[in-house]
Amino acid sequence: MVRASQLLHAQREPAVPRPAATVLLLRDGPQGVEVLMTRRSATASFAPGAYVFPGGGIDAADADAHALAARRPGQDAQRLTQAIAAIRESFEELGVLLARHADGRPADASDVATMDRHAPFAPQVRERGLVLAADQVFLLAHWITDRDLPRRFDVPFLVARMPANQSPVADEAEQFEPVWVRPADALARHKAGQFFIIFPTIRTLERLEKFASVDAVLAACAGEQPLWTSCPRAGFVQGAEARYMEHEMQYGELALVAPDGQLLHHLDWQMDHAVPLLKNVARMTAPNPGVMTGPGTNSYIVGDPDTGYVVIDPGPEDPEHQQRLWRATNGDIRLIVCTHSHADHSPGARPLQALCRVQPPILGLPSAPTARPASHFVPDRVLADGEVLVLEGNGRTHSLKAIHTPGHAANHVCLVLVEDGLLFSGDHILNGSTTVVDPPDGDMTAYLDSLDRLSAACDEFGIGFILPAHGHVLGFAKEAIRMLKGHRLQREARILAAMRQRPSGTLEDWVEIAYADVPPRMWPIAKRSLLAHVQRIEALQLAG
């Protein structure tokens, strides 16, 4: 858990979300699934002028109308209330009535014509002996409005099949211009500036366009659990607002820098100055972007003016990068730590050390005999497994605990900032790609075992965030490690299948099968990790 005293910004309480419900009315069109959308009033208090799905706030009367609704097994009281609210809103806004008569006949246009869309809904349903078709309204997703916005909603996104014998008619007050549109077409029109939609709508349409039919959508929602849940976060990219869901690479960094959701952080990669992440943590990215390094190698600065600083991974030998690290610390560097000896991590250590008036020791693990010549590294002092490096001053303490994590490299080490629950993962865990495990210095079994060690450290130290050597900060640390290990084991299963399919094959044969989902231009790099998996498979005698 990050110390509140180290947060960059004064925190404020986000607005409390109001309960609401939205329904996606679907039909099968000639070219696939179509969804009903309408344009909101230009004077609406939320998302004015945007094309949306019908919906609105949940009223107390919705919870009181359970006796009027059909309910399927597994649909609890809360979901039933939400479905009723969605049915009511679709009627009031678009004149679409999801209901049936007592004999099972679906409500049609003649039933809608006898009802007043501006009068209380439930009494009209009761008077006509209708049964609300809540059992045919399914949960697709759960959205909670972004924390930075002044008006917030807690909204299930529901789905239902459009009644075949009804036509939507907008109320011309809150909603205008009902339109049936394929998700892909709505997204394309939005990109062209012709169809304004907001972030949750965009992401929902992106997921929806993958379904071939309404039946496929409803079948996916049969489990009574949302297919995804999200409360997005926002930052700036090239000066413009950009929003991200929990699975996206930028989300964790926004959660670390502005946990209350304030729109403050710039996500653009900076090479000319340090980017503050906390009061006691900053990132300086080296100007070495590439296929293997992503946006560049992240050097991290831990500490403050009273405690002095530790620099983690001073990067490649680049005089300007080392000068920037020196200036960012005012030259008060107490320790330099290299997570491993690869050429984009450790060569900057000696030049940075030489810049300091009182030269700090360089810590890490020496490169193993298996390391490539370009990865030769000898620290001033070997960093012991479990050793704690302490910075102290003016009543503050920043403690970094070393965890030996061989796998990506034989001499790899990660660091935990104990007081704030941060993991500096070097190349063992990256954001945006999986790391290469390249024998003989790389070892897949050691890599997986080290992931287990880091997962245990998450429990021991309450680690919430991972600060990788490449990419933005990762949130949901333990879940990220679990997913990474799962990905590696899934890849191993594909490699094992390829080996069994072509028992006399070569690495080139197997990479085409096991990495068929990866662009062929990346196969030469993938082949390194494939070899590590093959060696593990053979050592464990998994091929049978």
Q: Where in the chain is the domain with CATH 3.60.15.10?
A: 269-479
At residue 47 the predicted structure's pLDDT band, cuts being 50, 70 and 90, is confident
18-231 belongs to which homologous superfamily? Nucleoside Triphosphate Pyrophosphohydrolase (3.90.79.10)
Instruction: State mean pLDDT over 332-349.
Output: 97
293-339 pLDDT, tens digit each: 999 999 999 999 999 999 999 999 999 999 999 999 999 999 999 99
263-305 pLDDT, tens digit each: 999 999 999 999 999 999 999 999 999 988 999 999 999 999 9
Above 90 in pLDDT, residue 387?
A: yes
Looking at residue 382, its pLDDT comes to: 98
DSSP 295-364: T-PEEEEEEETTTEEEEE---SS-HHHHHHHHHHTTT-EEEEE-S---TTTSTTHHHHHHHSSSPPPEEE
Q: Where in the chain is the domain with CATH 3.90.79.10?
A: 18-231
174-201 pLDDT, tens digit each: 778 899 999 999 999 999 999 999 999 9
At residue 156 the predicted structure's pLDDT band, cuts being 50, 70 and 90, is very high
Cα→Cα distances 72→19, 33, 75, 135, 499, Å: 22, 24, 6, 5, 47
Looking at residue 152, its pLDDT comes to: 94
269-479 belongs to which homologous superfamily? Ribonuclease Z/Hydroxyacylglutathione hydrolase-like (3.60.15.10)
Q: What percent of the chain has pLDDT over 70?
A: 100
Report how far residue 459's alpha carbon sits from residue 197's, in angstroms, rounded to the nearest whole number.
41
- Secondary structure letter of residue 68 according to DSSP: G
Token pair of 514 as six digits = 């096991």
* 333 in Cβ contact with 301 (< 8 Å): no
Q: What torsion, rounded to 10 degrees, do the Cα atoms 246, 248, 254, 256 define? A: 70
pTM of the model: 0.93
Above 80 in pLDDT, residue 543?
A: no
At residue 419 the predicted structure's pLDDT band, cuts being 50, 70 and 90, is very high
Looking at residue 544, its pLDDT comes to: 66
Amino acid at 467: L
Tokens 């790609």 label which residue? 433
